[in-house]
Amino acid sequence: MPTQKHPGSSNIGFLRQGESLIRRLEEGLFTGASELVPGGTVGSHFRHCLDFYVSFLRGLETGNVDYDSRDRTPQWETSRERALGALARVVRDLEAVRAEDTLRPLEVRGDGPQDEEGWSRSSVGRELQYLLSHTIHHYAIVGSILRAKGFEPGPDFGVAPSTLRHWGRAGGVAS
């Protein structure tokens, strides 16, 4: 019988990619203001992603994921060590999500189309897909901020797996 892939393995892989990047950064690159994205820092984008994962994980307990009610923990964007600690906790908690949980229904609130009460139906698996896309989007912004500061995060940082597969079939990075 084939081994089933962990439902959050892609999310965990991207979070670990972020952890690896944070470990390579000096504090100033993590917390420094960006001319490219006014008001945005590398740290603020990591904090934002972490806030969404924490909201998701908290919602697993109740069945209600409220992305609009985030903690917005400032230490996660102003301290590499605090961000790394939060990343480790999120990865640990994602590793506890089981394959049989993916179809479990959730009610979700966040920006976007919603019913009259502000909640939409979803599932654990769908929210993991959403979080992956959200993470990739913010990693792409982080990559742009860092490149503008002269730091190369890596050619695949902030690039979706489907794009990487396409590049592989097409023989390299699109220009």
pLDDT digits (tens, 9 = 90+) for 113-133: 555 568 999 999 999 999 999
Q: Is the pLDDT of residue 2 over 70?
A: no
Question: Which pTM value belongs to this model?
Answer: 0.90
**Length, in residues, of the chain:** 175
Query: Is the CB of residue 9 less than 8 Å from the CB of residue 125?
Result: no
pLDDT tens digits, one per residue of 141-151? 999 999 999 99
In order of their start, the domains of the chain are 9-170 (1.20.120.450)
Strand partners, 123: 105
Whole-angstrom distance, CA of residue 144 vs CA of residue 36: 8
> Across all residues in the chain, what is the average pLDDT?
92
Q: How far is CA 52 from CA 70, 94, 132, 148, in A?
A: 7, 13, 11, 26
pLDDT number for residue 174: 56
